Structure 1
Amino acid sequence: MLRLPSEFKPEALPATLPCAQPLDAEQQDKLAALRVQAETLAAAHPDDAAWLTDACLLRYLRAARWQVAKAAERLGNTLAWRRERRPHVLDPDYVMPEAATGKIFVNGFDRYGRPVIYLVPRRENTKPSRRQMDHLIFFLERAIAAMPPGVEQVTLIIDFTGASLFNSPGAGVAKETANMLEQHYPERLGSAYIVGAPWFFGQVFKLVSPFLDTVTRDKINFVDLKHKPEEPKSTKEAGVEQNGEWTPAGVPSPMWDIIPPEMLDATIGGRYVFRHEMPTYWEHLLAETVHYSPELPPGVSATDVANGTVNGVRTEMN
């Protein structure tokens, strides 16, 4: 778990990352201008400083198409959201009831060194709630903590195999998730693969897609397992490596080309036989993605967690 693919070349990574490309004079001026505004936004909150790296500011600038005022507005909104939701310090014990079935897990890397996050609707075990969304946020933060140096994005796989209308996310949840990713994790999505999408998800996607930025929408690929190639292409054949440098292949790219077969779950065409055993997986995940001291959300006490209640609501699986 959380291992780099054998074909990954860390020394070649900087050539592929937007933030690693040399900034021109105008971009440097805009980064400096946003830095001034970020310091003003964080003046009363010293804890924000560690998060406001140049790489972070550049993600907001790229998402705002280099409009400083727009980037500063979005950055301010995210800072307010982070102070309220505290995504980087969510307590594992708080989200553990959501994680028990393995409906979301981080495992492996794609050919760009991006952590792969799996969402498996058939394993849904709770009703929509704030804690359910915090569970997704928790894994996003853990995937970010697992990123090798120079990597800023994740690859997302939603595996609808065996899912039904009753355990799949509805339009409300899908819209909230899309909005959170767009507003508070800009430029974090490298690619997304929706495997075996059932008919009803098509309706959900039609409702959600208008709210997605065109750049984000172009990163979403629908995968039909019936059309899996006999053998995944090599890195070079996939368009990942050209002239000795790592350059992104065209979008959409087949999932089997971007994720090495030894890193891709066997249930969706890879060769990695992974069995989610909660105690073992949880122990390794927490040990390998240490980057903060966890806290419980406001209004949730250690007693609530120990008793299986959060704000008076039972939290065991249903």
Structure 2
Amino acid sequence: MPFPVSLLTPPAGVTFERQFTAEQETDVAALAAHYNADGYTLDGEALTEREQMHLSKETLLRFRLSSRDVAHTIERIDANTRFRREHKVEDWEAMAAAVKPEMKTGKVFILGFSKAGQPVMYVFHPRNDWPSAQRTQIPAIFFLERARDLQAGGVDSIYVFQNYGVPKLGDNQTPAFAKENMQIVADHYPRNVGKAVLQDMGFVVRTFINLIWPFVDSWTKEVTLFDKSSKPQPDIEASLIPKECKGEFDYTWNVDEYWPVLMAVIKARRTDQEKRFREVGAKVGVQEKLFKVTDVAVTL
């Protein structure tokens, strides 16, 4: 039985309008003008269409809000573009093929949306059975990118559950690995996470979190909730939250059911976004609501 497409379809009618102050509008316009200048290149390469899409008005604002000034923002965005090129982030199908073997246990997946329309990403750390020496940050990057693909209607953040209560299948995550993960999120996905819920942390995990907490960026600290309740999070319909996370959704993970549906949905949405992006005028600084819409046909 295939995984329901509806669980990867943004809810109709849910929209979000990011408000910009006059100063933010001025700074974002300056950033867009910098990257849209005739002949602009980075390391001798012009921005691709996908790189321009990534540098939406909302992305420019997120980087600006987490930087000292416009000049520092440009430095960070340039570093982000180099990072994305190095990791071939836009070659999403090759990245999918690389991470699928690690997904057999259901350690990371996207399922449903919050009431505010945010794609919901679940991370079950104890399910990571991959040998410690072979672990990379690619699975996390892959799913952060897919969650961004699923945003629509002006929604510009994601919702993340990190659960530590399921049976342990592999080695514990090392502080160094966790610190690297947090650094990537802070440097290359600033303010992308609208809420992070940490659940079922035993003594060892709490000690671990306390060890790495000083390295967590201020935004992540602000949006993180240490969930000690026995009830499901009210931001999401309980019927969409897995039972492992105190919800009512009862699903036995099967990567061979989930993966083809995820791939079909992402392909359809990215293709539609590219078409709409060209129609509104492909350039840096376009608002995402103009090319990320809810209603996209998916063929399985």
Q: What is the TM-score normalised by the length of structure 2?
A: 0.78
The answer to whether 1:258 aligns with 2:235 is yes
Paired with 1:134 and 1:216, the residues of 2 have a C-alpha distance of 20
Distance 1:28 1:83 in 2: 28
Q: C-alpha displacement at 1:32, in angstroms?
A: 1.9
Question: 1:1-318 to 2 correspondence within 5 Å?
Answer: 1=4, 3=6, 10=13, 13-15=15-17, 20-24=18-22, 26-39=23-36, 40=40, 42=42, 44-47=45-48, 48-64=51-67, 67-90=69-92, 91=94, 92-128=96-132, 132-164=136-168, 167-224=171-228, 227-229=229-231, 256-290=233-267
- Contact 2:108–2:124 (CA<8 Å) still a contact in 1? yes
SS at match of 1:152: coil
Query: Structure 1 residues 197, 41: closer, same or farther in 2, change over 3 A?
Result: farther
Question: How much does 1:21 deviate?
Answer: 1.0
Whole-angstrom distance in 2 between the partners of 1:38 and 1:204: 41
The answer to whether the 8 Å contact 1:165/1:200 transfers is no
1:126–1:132 Cα contact (<8 Å) kept: no
Distance (whole Å) between structure 1 residues aligned to residue 8 and residue 137 of structure 2 = 30
Q: Deviations over 1:268-311 (max 9, x none)?
A: 22111122111110011111112569xxxxxxxxxxxxxxxxxx
Contact 1:2/1:108 (8 A) holds in 2: no
Residue aligned with 2:16, SS: helix
State the shift of 1:46 in Å. 2.8
Contact 2:126 2:169 in 1 (8 A): no
- In structure 2, C-alpha distance between the alignment counterparts of 1:210 and 1:41, rounded to whole Å: 37
Residues of 2 paired with 1:187 and 1:2: CA distance? 28
Secondary structure at 1:107 match in 2 = strand
In 2, are the aligned partners of 1:120 and 1:159 still within 8 Å (CA)?
yes
Change in CA separation of 1:51 and 1:9 when aligned onto 2, cut-off 3 Å: closer
- Listed one character per residue, the Cα deviations across residues 170-193 of structure 1 (whole Å, up to 9, x for unaligned) are 211110110010000111001111
User: Aligned pair count?
Assistant: 259
Structure 1 residues 84-142: Cα deviation after superposition (integer angstroms, max 9, x where no partner): 01123241221111112111111111111111111112221212457631111111111
Distance change (3 Å), C-alpha of 1:208 and 1:165: farther
Query: In 1, Cα distance between the equivalents of 2:211 and 2:187?
Result: 18
Other structure's SS at 2:160 match: strand
Give the CA RMSD over aligned residues: 2.7
Partner amino acid, structure 2, of 1:44? E
SS in 2 for 1:191: strand
Aligned-residue identity in percent: 25
Bigger CA drift: 130-139 or 89-98? 130-139
The residue identity in structure 2 corresponding to 1:93 is: A
Relative distance call for 1:188 and 1:129 in structure 2 (3 A) is farther
Deviation at 1:164, TM superposition (A): 4.8
Instruction: Specify every segment of 5 or more residues in structure 2 that has no aligned partner in the other structure, as ranges.
Output: 272-300
Equivalents in 2 of 1:165, 1:273: separation in Å? Answer: 20
CA distance, structure 2, for counterparts of residue 97 and residue 4 of structure 1: 22
Question: How far does residue 30 in structure 1 lie from its aligned partner after superposition?
Answer: 1.0
| Alignment CA distance shift 1:56-1:160 (3 Å) | same
Distance 1:262 1:5 in 2: 14
**Aligned partners of 1:108 and 1:115 also within 8 Å:** yes
| Cα separation, partners in 2 of 1:212 and 1:265, compared to 1, 3 Å | same
| In structure 1, C-alpha distance between the alignment counterparts of 2:169 and 2:99, rounded to whole Å | 24
Contact 2:117 2:151 in 1 (8 A): yes
**In the aligned structure 2, how far is the partner of 1:32 from the partner of 1:276?**
45
**1:274 is aligned with what amino acid?**
Y
